[in-house]
Every structure is written in structure tokens, then in C-alpha cells.
Structure 1
Amino acid sequence: MVNSIKRSIITMNSTKQAFMVSAMKSGSGKTLITLGLINILKRAGKSVSIYKTGPDYIDTMYHEKIAGSPSTNLDPYFLEPEFKPDELKKLFFRNLKGDIAIIEGAMGLFDGIYGEGKRCSACSVSEELNVDVIMVVDMDELDNLSAYLQSFTHRVKAVIVNKVEKNTDINMIRSRLNEIGLFLIGYLYFDTNFHIESRHLGLYEPQKDIFNIVDKVSDELSRTLDFNMLEDFYVEVAHDTDITTEALNIKPRKYRLAFAYDEAFSFTYEENIKVLEEYGFEIVKFSPLHDKKLPDNVDVLWLSGGYPELYAKELSSNTAMLESIYNSDIPIISECGGFIYLHKSFENNEGESFKGVGLIDGKAFKTKKLVRFGYIEIEAGSDSILIKRNQRIRSHEFHYYDSTCNGDYAHAIKANKSKEWNCINAHDNIFAGFPHIYLRGYEFLLQNLISFLEREKDV
């Protein structure tokens, strides 16, 4: 019997507090200030719904640690309006459960698909959702802000200035912003302790002292933040488009899915877990690092992305788990880090080679730069456990590793059509490759998987 869960109907003319935090570029401190704002609002007794634009896994981990609730990826490419009309809006409002919504924009405000203006940028998300933007700007970037914002239309209303020297005239900053039609909503004095360790185009996984750092940032930002002005940021919950969400049929738990989740494998979309559960999958988390075998009585294995290269020795030494996965006859889905782990061998960051599961007949090796980085569209060349011939999905790749066996099951084309290549190993019960998988809006992937499971059951 199918249990039907009714989602709430959107009330006309209602509003909720909401804003986006963005910057001119990566590395301007927007994640730290977003965390500070979440913490400040939590201290005030507010419940906060958090979002991140783009295909980001690590910032959402930080959000969840500070907010105590999951963060939702709002990816403007996977759910682009011309491709999936109104799906991004539905996703936003479906997860808008708190008193206030904070959306952290990826990279710079206008950074999207290279060569195509602000397409699929944080700015495009703010415009689709009708949410205004607070820019985080370093003090030494302030002179460039006006010219930057003239590049494209936008919804920027206010600024938080970061790394302000103690003797700076704040009224001077306020006047300079007023001259270009913006408001100073807060500022943060320069402090070498206000730092989150970062890597190229993103952060490392959350530091142990992140709570102490965010508490200190919150204390300082609370002294300068204009809370009255913050209340002027809101989103109209009603839109011209009908965004009432239909009743979802939540299927009874019929399949057990072993989901890799530990220090080495932690990259997944929260929305993927929700979609899997909606389609009747019981998620059984396990650790390829620490467990000795797959969970009992599972029907599917999902190896998510992560940093297996940082734990290469430990993963390789856990031979019982390697053998458990190698000898399993269940469908295996692996993406990026999970794909690396499935190889006969893979390198760590130092270039040392270690034994992998062995289901991919090749070696995963470290390169000196990002490989095939960016948004892509994938078309399947034949049927597999996940995608049928000629079906298409949107995806992205982000990795410094390459493989001697990338696969040729599918063909990938970059979103701006600048490059194309073959990818993914798909045969028998395996679907494995560097492209990351996103399920919301692509539920046919699970329909295909369930059909495969049903056929196997009937054999």
C-alpha cells in the first residue's frame, strides 16, 4: 500500500525573510560570514533554512554543522528554468521550513557557465527566486564593487564589508556605498583568527575548531550588524507560477541500499537521499574505511564521492571490505571518489599506488590540475542499470584525478559546448564514472534501477 504525504499548499501573498550572501569572487569570506549569520539568528531563537547554489558538497557540511539541520543545494544548471521549468522554485519552497532562509552563492555573484554571461550563476538563482542579495566585500575590494555590479543586472541591495582595519572611518564606507545605491548592513574587523582553511575553488572538510571560529565571528558581527535592515530582506511565498507542490507518493521500503559514508566518502546531495527514500529505498550507511563487509541483505551499493586518496592506505589495508564489494553481485553505482576506489589501483596525493576494489580494470592517478572540470550533459550510448540508451542527464565533474579506464558508455558535452568526451563504465551490474549524479528532476534514473531490480528478482 502506498502512503501519500501531502505537502503544504503555498498561501497567497505571504512572505518570509530570505536573502542571498554572495561576493565578487571565491575567497572573500562569504562562507564564514554566512555561518556567522546562521549562528547569530540561531542565538536569537530563529530557525534557519540554509541553501547553497551550485554543485557544492563541503560548504553544505559547514552549514549543517552550525545550523544543526541539512543544507539544500540549489543548482541552477541541473534545474535550469528552460530545462526544468519551476523545479528550482519548488525545491526552494519545499525546503523553506524555518523562520528565515539564507542562500550562500557559489563563487562570484556572476560566475556561471564560462562564456555565457551570468547563466547558471548565483545571480540567476536570486533572480529566479526573487531574493535580494547581500554582498560580502573585502575592504581592499571596495573600489572595484561599482564597476563589478555594472557587468549585469542584479538584485544586490546591501554590503557586509570584511577585513576592515580598526582605525577605518565606518561612515566613510557607508557614504561610498550610498553613492552607488547600496547600504552598509554590517562589517567585520580584520582578525587573523577569522579563517577557514581552503583549497582551490572550495573549502576543506569542516575543521574541528569551526564552532569556536564561528562563535567569535558571530560575536563581532553582532556588534555591527543592522538587524532592522536585515528584516527588510524577504521573499514572496506566492508567485505567478503555481508552485504548490503535488502530493508525493512515498513508496513502502522495498529495497535496502548500502550507502558509503565516512571520512573518505562524504560527498552527496541531501536531496538525493530524499529522492531515494521517496522511491522506496531504505538507506543503510556503512564505512568502507572501518567496516569489514557490506551490510547484510542489501540490494544496491552506492559509493559516493569524497577523498579516498587521503585515506588510500587505510582503504587498501581493509582487504575484507575490498573482497566484500568485489564479490557482491548487487548493482553498484559509484561516482567520482567512489569510482576511484573501484579501480584495481589508485594513487594517494603523494603519487604512491594502492590496491583498490578491482572492479574497474585500470589505475586512478593524480594529475596537477582539475580534469574535465565543470557542468556537462551526458547521453547514454546503451542501456545500463541507471540510464537507458539515448536518455540524457545533466551532471558535473570536479576532480584532480584521471583514470586509464574512464569508460565509453556515455558521451559528455560541456554546458558551453567547448569540449566533449566519452565517460562512464557501465556493464552488467556496474555504473561507475567521474560524473556526479543528481536525482531531483531525474527520477527516471531510479525508475530504471527499480526495473533492473525487478527483472533480477524474476530471473
Structure 2
Amino acid sequence: MHHMVIAAISSSSGKTAVTMGILSALKERGFSVQPFKVGPDYIDPSFQKTASGKVSHNLDLFMMGKEGIYDVYKKASAYSDISVVEGVMGLYDGSGIKSMEGSTASVAKLLSIPVILVLDAKAMSKTAAAVVLGIKEFDLDVNLRGVILNRVSSARHYELIESSIMEKTGVPCLGYLPEDPVMEFQSRHLGLQLDPLYQGGISEKITNMGRFIEKHLNLSALLDLTVRASDPKQAEPLVEEKKEMKDLLRLGIAEDEAFSFYYEDNLEQLRQKGVQLIPFSPLRDKRLPEHLDGLYFGGGFPELHLQKLEENSSLREEIHRKLALGMPAFAECGGYMYLTQGIRDKEGTLHNMVGFFEGSCEMTDTLQRFGYTSIRIGPYEMKGHEFHHSQWVGPKETEQEFLCAKHFGSRDETYRTGQKKNNCYGSYVHIHLRSSGGIVQSMLDHLRKWRSQNENQNRL
């Protein structure tokens, strides 16, 4: 098998576009390619899925722990020819000033995966060799195997850089990418815009990116450099609970352009425990799917679809009615915003939402919270991540259910966020289910209790 980490010296180096192009090119060659993403990002994995045809998995050391990363990587890569891991930020950028924990380099070492460095060489020549030498010497345990030069102006420019890198470092260059619109994507906040995934032509664009990569890079050399003789530490496979379809718990999950931020490993853990995920669209569906035992509202960009969400009043009213009766529900970030009284856009207009939780959310020009946190809900403490350009507005005594402790920020911080009402839990935090041993079982208990109550009522 082939295993590789696509890394860079910083964000905005072209790492994501190069990764998508490599995934597409290798798929076009007939390989089965499994993508991964270091860190808590949701957006890049969505594009990786389109490029590779396979669901991408996050590898996040803070939220998943070493054993979680071993388990997810081993399981997901087992049935593919090639595993491609896209890094996060710069190669050595970790969770704190004195630590590289959680960095791309730490994950590469943990899983013994060769690293391919994407270097933006637009404004340099021989200095590129100094950069690569520094990357190589900074941590000799990182297996730096090759360099891809991005935004190179000409063949002569490439030859100058390539010869210098080879002379000073011995690390081979795998080709160069000239600047070209085919490799460009617009970004929003810290990631790519999701809009193209729901518009026509995205598959064609990613295919063209793959062909561009095929034309300019030596993919055969890339594969030769990324054969790994030994597998990472063995992890115990998850044991599926065999259940009849009638015994599966039915969890409605909001999935459309407005709500799409879910960790695949979270969904997989629920499936393993006998939960059937039933998708529905708050944008288009007028009714919830039948016979649901609970609801899950993930994050996303509801603020980009406020009018359509507001206009779909029949679904909003049904959700409110179900939650008021006690149906279990869990809502994160954009999903939490959707369950409040409303969302106020940047022009000051308030758009009505489900109205189950007190208060409303208003969009802001600045980032309100960003980074890892741990959140305590009842007896459970879970690790998660926050990233939002909005804030909750309402009576202060309401939004104080869940205690959060900020990690890896510029200062230690403890704050309260989110609301609990009936059996519905909501906050701005995206949690990872691996971080708390009891939370999955608690969710299952809530779902089963609701099913039991409704079955008893139907018999009366």
C-alpha cells in the first residue's frame, strides 16, 4: 500500500488544491484512494469525498487521542490502494507554543507515514532549498520524502529551484505547478467555500484538477516514494452489533447546503451501535421522516440560507412540536442557531427559526470563538472545537447550561454556553464522540426511551 501526508509550511500554500488534484488523478488511474484530513476541519473533507469517491475521515489528536487515530486510520485505509492525508496549517504547527502535539508532523510520525511537502515557490529561487533544509532538519523523525513546487513561473525557474533543493537536502522534487485558474477555489473564513459542491460542474472541475496534476507532476515517482513496508500499530476493530432493521434506532440527521458539518467517525460510531441515520433537509422537506427516535442538527452555514429556512414553516413547526413533546435532539453550532428564536443577518433583519431555545443568534463581522475546548454536559465531559462568526443574544440566565474550558488559546478561559430544554441539547461546540466513553450510550438511552414511550402510547 501507499501512504502519504500532503503538508505545507503554512496555510494558503495550495495544499488543499494539490491534495484534491492528487486524489482525482490517482482515482483516474484506477486506484482506490482513501482521503483523510488532519484536524477538526469539515469543509476540506467534503471536497475530498467528491475527488476520491470515498468519505474522508478526520484525524484529530486532541479530540480522538492516539488510539482513536490508530483505529480510524487502520480501519478506513484497510481496503484502499492508497491513503492520502491532507495536513493542517504548517507542518509543525501544533496545539501550543511549546508543543507540536496535534500538528501534521505529529500525526505523520504517529502513523509512520511519509511526508510530501507542497512549497509555494512563486517569489523565491535558491531560498527554497533553505526552507526545505529547515523543514527536514527541524525534526529528523519526520520522514520527508518529496517536494511539490507550486506557483512556479517557468521550466527554467523550476530547474533552478530543483537543483538547489537536491544539492542542499537530497530531497527529490516531484514536478512543479504553474499558476492556473483550474487550481483555484474561493475561500470563506478559514476554509473553502462549500457552495461549489452544490452547484453544477464541481465534478468536472475536480477532474480537470486531476488532469492538471497528472500533466505536471511525476505521480509514478510519488507512488514509489510513499510505499510503506509496515502498517501502523494494530488497532482492535470495532465490532458491529448485528440487529434486525426493525430494531435499529432511527435518528433523523439534517443534511443539505445549510447543515453538513459532521465528523464521519461520530456517525460511524452511531451506526456501529445500531443507529440508522435518516437524512432530511430543513431547506426543502416539508415534513420530518416518519418514525424517528431523535434528531441531530450539525453545523454548517444556515446564515447563507435564512430566507429558505424561514419560508419552510411547516417543518420548523413540526420540529418545535416534536421537541416540545420530548423527542431527543442534539444540535451543534449552526444546528443550535437553527433551533433558537431566530438568526439576525448582518443587515439587522431577524429571520424566524424553530424557536425552541430561548434567545436568538446574530451574525458578526469578527470571529467570536475559535479553537479547541472541552464541554461538560451533566456527568459527561467531551472534547470539541468551536468556530463561528455569530453570537447568541438573550437572557443571561438562560444560556448557562454547559461549562466549557478553552484549550490552546492565548489565555486560559472558562465560560458557559448552550442550552438544555426537555431532551434537547444545543451549543456552539462541535463535539467528538470518542472523547467521552459514556456519551454514546447516553444518546442511545434517550432514543430508546422515546421509542418506548411512543410505542406504549400507540398501544393505548
TM-score (norm 1): 0.88
Matched-pair contact (CA < 8 Å) for 1:118–1:152 = no
For residue 446 of structure 1, the aligned residue among 433, 440, 453 is: 440
Aligned residues: 431
> Contact between 1:310 and 1:348, CA under 8 Å: does it hold in 2?
no
> Which of 122, 130, 150 in structure 1 is aligned with 2:112?
130
Give the deviation of 1:332 after TM superposition: 1.5
Instruction: Give the counterpart letter for 1:360 in structure 2.
Output: F
Q: Pairwise mapping of residues 13-412 of structure 1 onto structure 2 (< 5 A)?
A: 16-81=1-66, 86-96=67-77, 97-140=79-122, 143=127, 145-146=131-132, 149=135, 151-153=138-140, 154-166=142-154, 168-178=156-166, 179-205=168-194, 207=196, 208=199, 209-230=201-222, 231-239=224-232, 241-245=233-237, 247-252=239-244, 253-328=247-322, 329=325, 330-380=327-377, 382=378, 389=379, 391-405=380-394, 407-412=399-404
Distance (whole Å) between structure 1 residues aligned to residue 315 and residue 352 of structure 2: 12
The code of the aligned residue for 1:226 comes to: N
Q: Measure, in 2, the Cα distance between the counterparts of 1:139 and 1:433.
A: 42
CA–CA separation in structure 2 for the residues paired with 1:111 and 1:141: 22
The structural deviation recorded for 1:250 is: 4.1
Supply the distance in 1 between the matched residues of 2:57 and 2:438 (Cα, whole angstroms): 21
CA shift in 2, pair 1:43/1:424, >3 Å? same
Amino acid at match of 1:68: G
In structure 2, give the amino acid aligned to 1:232.
Answer: L
The one-letter code sitting in structure 2 at the alignment partner of 1:426 is K
Structure 1: 5+ residue stretches without partners: 1-15, 383-388
SS in 2 for 1:248: coil
Query: Contact (CA 8 Å) 1:261, 1:285: kept in 2 or not?
Result: yes
Kept after mapping to 2: 8 A contact 1:275/1:443: no
- Offset at residue 401 of structure 1 (A): 0.7
Deviation for aligned residue 1:195 = 0.5
Alpha-carbon distance in 2 for matches of 1:403, 1:250: 42
**CA deviation string 1:175-218 (max 9, x = no partner):** 22111232101211122342111123211115243334333333
Deviations 1:99-136 (A, max 9, x none): 01000112221222242432211111111001011111
Partners of 1:35 and 1:309 in 2: CA distance: 27
Contact residue 145 and residue 225 of structure 2 kept, 8 A: no
Letter in 2 for 1:134: I
Q: 1:256 to 1:215 in 2, by over 3 A?
A: closer
Equivalent of 1:433, from 423, 427, 438?
427
2: CA distance, partners of 1:448 / 1:175:
59
Question: Are the structure 2 counterparts of residues 348 and 105 from structure 1 closer, same or farther at C-alpha, using a change threshold of 3 Å?
Answer: same
C-alpha contact 1:62 1:206 (8 A) present in aligned 2: no
After TM superposition, the structure 1 stretch with the greater mean CA deviation from structure 2, 175-184 or 309-318, is 175-184
C-alpha deviation, 1:308, in angstroms: 0.6
CA apart distance, 1:79: 1.8
Contact 1:138 1:162 in 2 (8 A): yes
**Match of 1:373, SS?**
strand
- With over 3 angstroms needed to count, the CA separation of the structure-2 counterparts of 1:214 and 1:318, relative to structure 1, is closer
Q: Give the Cα separation in 2 of the matches to 1:304 and 1:64.
A: 18
Conserved? CA contact 1:166–1:190, under 8 Å: no
Q: Given that residues 253 and 280 in structure 2 are in contact (C-alpha distance below 8 angstroms), is that contact kept between their aligned partners in structure 1?
A: yes
Aligned AA (1:33): V
Structure 1: how far apart are the matches of 2:156 and 2:208? 21
Residues 50/205 of structure 1: CA separation in 2 closer, same or farther (3 Å cut):
same
Identity %, equivalent residues: 29
**Deviation digits for residues 357-408 of structure 1, max 9, x if unmatched?**
111110101122212210111223x3xxxxxx2x211100011111025822
- Normalising by structure 2, we get a TM-score of 0.88
Q: Tell me, which stretches of 5 or more residues in structure 2 are unaligned?
A: none
